[in-house]
Amino acid sequence: MAAVGPSVFLLMVNGQVESAQFPEHDDLYCKYCFVYGHDWAPTAGLEEGISQITSKSHDVRHSLVWNFPIDVTFKSTNPFGWPQIVLSVYGPDVFGNDVVRGYGAVHVPFSPGSDPSPLSGLCHPPLQRGDQGHEEAGLRHWACRHAEGRGARPDPRPPSVKASAPPPPSELAGPTTSPYA
């Protein structure tokens, strides 16, 4: 009698990030990564990606169109830690530095089909616009840190995301040395 190994199931995710509307911003790009529990493993496709920079359309909606494809397959023996997709949108600030303009996370839908309603709340209205770097830092760091370290998987509990005031400029810059001093 042959020994039977543990059974697995596959979850295939494919689709695209089509577009977004950020009336106050232009020249934005999108990043995605997946976070998942300890029993999950990617078997095909990409767990993370970055789109091209896009400019607003010239129609009335002024949409930012990426048509950014996503295609990944996971396997697991346990539904605990069901995969989530984390999206972050970046663009230049007045100094030309890339800053977070919006972000969100949502569990991958449980059933097949093209119903976009599970993703409609991906960017929460109070957080989808403006410079959200400080509020978003905890979520992005938690999610993408684990997507980059292939051996480690995140804690299945969601991260705590807290809004905080930016640190004083002296803390951001760190120690400075000038060749003219």
Which domains are seen in the chain, by residue range? 9-111 (2.60.40)
Question: Which residues have a Cβ under 8 Å from the Cβ of 180 and sit 6 or more positions away?
Answer: none
Report residue 142: phi and psi, to 5°: -65, -45
> With 90 as the cut, is the pLDDT of residue 139 above it?
no
Nearest to 116 by CA among 47, 18, 34: 18
pLDDT digits (tens, 9 = 90+) for 57-114: 888 888 999 999 999 999 999 999 999 999 999 999 999 999 999 999 999 987 777 6
Residue 27 identity: D
Q: What is the pTM of this model?
A: 0.63
Residue 157 has a pLDDT of 36
Calpha distance 113→87 (Å, rounded) = 21
* Alpha-carbon separation of residue 132 from 28, 71, 121, 135, 144 (angstroms): 14, 28, 17, 5, 17
Average pLDDT over the chain, rounded to an integer = 73
